[in-house]
Amino acid sequence: MGNRGVLHNASKELKHLYKIKPWITCALEFKGRRRELMTPGAYTELFFLDEVTAFAAGHRPCAECRRARYNEFRDAWTSTNKSEEVPKIRAPEMDEVLHRERIHEGGKVTWSSLLAELPHGTMFQVNGDCFAVCDDSILKWDFEGYTAVGRGPIPDKVDVLTPRSVVKVFANGFRPEFHPTATI
């Protein structure tokens, strides 16, 4: 489940793409908490097929309900983007980078890359369809899950949906979790 702040009004109509810079993914169940969807004044729940999809949308793991996964991602980010000034990155620094990479004049930023250079977990778009790199396979994404496709219909250069900084983390060994349909 994702969180970008309060995106809806009292009538449960979506009014905003985001309201806060930290875009996080939360556990569906945590400490027995219960929520009514789109509670007035509370954050708007967003649902993703899997972690791969959430990362492609520019989200990162929550530091409260997904602490272990957050720590793993933060440590991978830190080792990927080593800096003498920042020995261990914190969530606000990651959020600033992710925000710059995912939003540009109100729209999602994509970037071009050679397909052969994209690591496991990266999502990309070709002619309006979404795909993901899963080990040595290319999977077509939709709201129901993934289906295997050959590399034949995919060009050598693609428009990448996953933010560049996250792709670097994936290339450095962090492995995002796929929906079970990715195992077909």
Residue 78: count other Cβ atoms within 10 Å of its Cβ.
18
Residues 6+ apart with CB under 8 A from 128: none
* Three-class secondary structure assignment of 124-159: EEECCEEEEEECCEEEEEECCEEEEECCCCCCCEEE
Segments making up each domain of the chain, as ranges: 2-183
Q: Which residue has the higher pLDDT, 69 or 105?
A: 69
Q: What is the pLDDT of residues 37-51, one digit of tens each?
A: 888 888 888 899 999
**pLDDT per residue as tens digits for the range 106-140:** 566 889 999 999 999 999 999 999 999 999 899 99
Mode of pairing for the β-strands spanning 111-114 and 157-160: antiparallel
- Quick one: which of 111, 27, 20 has its CA closest to 61? 27
pLDDT band at 151 (very low <50, low <70, confident <90, very high): low
